[in-house]
Every structure is written in structure tokens, then in C-alpha cells.
Amino acid sequence: MRREAFLSFARFVAIMLPFGLLVGALVSQYVGGLFPCEMCMWQRWPHLLAIAAAMAAIGLRRNPFGSGVFTLLAALFIATSGLIGVYHAGVEYGLWEGVTTCSTMARPTPGQSMLDSIMEARLVRCDVAPWSLFGISLAGYNALFSLGGALLIFALLRKWSRS
């Protein structure tokens, strides 16, 4: 594999992984009806930052050093989301205590006061997994994919820098 291919593939993973995970989160929210809790929202912010860093890396593709730095930054943001996912999954599995507040998704309808919409809104608890597959919650899957993807990017950047 050519040296440039390692950096190119690292940039590809750095933009597609957080984009795919965010799309999955939004589809599960708006199509599947799985409203996010506060810690779910915390996991989304680093992915948005990772996308911005990966876009900068793609924009700097003619400057390999700058592109590598922004790709590394994207990997760090992806890993951050994964670590938040580990924390959230631990809260869901009862391994430790998380935040003690609950969040709501209040959406007032026309003619409805904000207070009425808040009072009718569904509470979303951080310590209850609304969905799981093979015993792994969405937070757990975010942790697995994010940390695995970050490790892949780190490995690709290491190969790129050494070749």
C-alpha cells in the first residue's frame, strides 16, 4: 500500500464513521422513536467536532502534515465520544451511577404553551437502555464503533508516518 493511501483511508474513516453514527442516532430518534437522554446527546457533540476536523483534513489533503494533524484530531474526538459511550453504557448496566437528572424532548404544538408541552413530554432516563441487541445498548455500540474506529485511524496514521 502506498504511503498516501494510509492517510487517505484514515481521512475516509474519520469522516464516515462519525457521520454514520450520527445518522444512525438521528434515524433511531426520528424514525424509531428512541428519544435521547442527556448522556446520549453528550456522545453526539464529539462526533460533530470529528466531522469538522475530518473536513479540514480533507481540505488540506495537498498538505500531508496538516491533513494528518486534523485527521488525528478527528480520531481524538471520535475516541472521546466512545469514552462517553463507555461511561453511559456503564450507567445503563448499573456498574456505576450517572447523572441524576432526566431529560425530555418537549415540542410544543401550535396553540400549546411551553409549560404544557413540558408537562406532557416523555421523560428519558439515562440509566435505562431503551433498545439493545445481543445485550448491548446503543451507548455500548457507540463505544465499540467509536473506540474501534479511533484505534483504526491511529494505526493508519502510524503506518503513514513511518512509511
Per the listing, cell 448522556 goes with 39
Per-residue pLDDT at 14 exceeds 90 = yes
User: What would the mean pLDDT of 59-87 be, rounded to a whole number?
Assistant: 94
Write the CB contacts of 47 (distance below 8 Å, at least 6 apart in sequence).
Answer: 18, 19, 21, 22, 77, 78, 81, 146
Banded pLDDT at 114 (limits 50, 70, 90): low
**Cβ(102)–Cβ(55) below 8 Å:** no
Which range of residues forms the domain containing residue 17?
A: 3-162
In tens, the pLDDT along 45-72 reads 999 999 999 999 999 989 989 999 999 9
- Lowest-pLDDT range, 10-14, 48-52, 113-117? 113-117
Task: Give the C-alpha separation, 148 to 153, whole Å.
Answer: 9
Per the listing, cell 492517510 goes with 7
Per-residue DSSP letter, 62: T
- The CA-based dihedral angle spanning residues 84, 89, 95, 99, taken in that order and rounded to the nearest 10 degrees: 60
Domain containing residue 146: CATH number: 1.20.1550
Q: What's the predicted TM-score (pTM) here?
A: 0.81
Nearest to 75 by CA among 2, 12, 133, 138: 12
H helix or E strand, kind and range, residue 104: strand 103-104
* Structural domains in the chain (count): 1
**C-beta atoms surrounding 79 within 10 Å:** 20
Per-residue pLDDT at 33 exceeds 90 = no
User: What would the mean pLDDT of 149-156 be, rounded to a whole number?
Assistant: 96
Distance between terminal CA atoms of the chain? 10
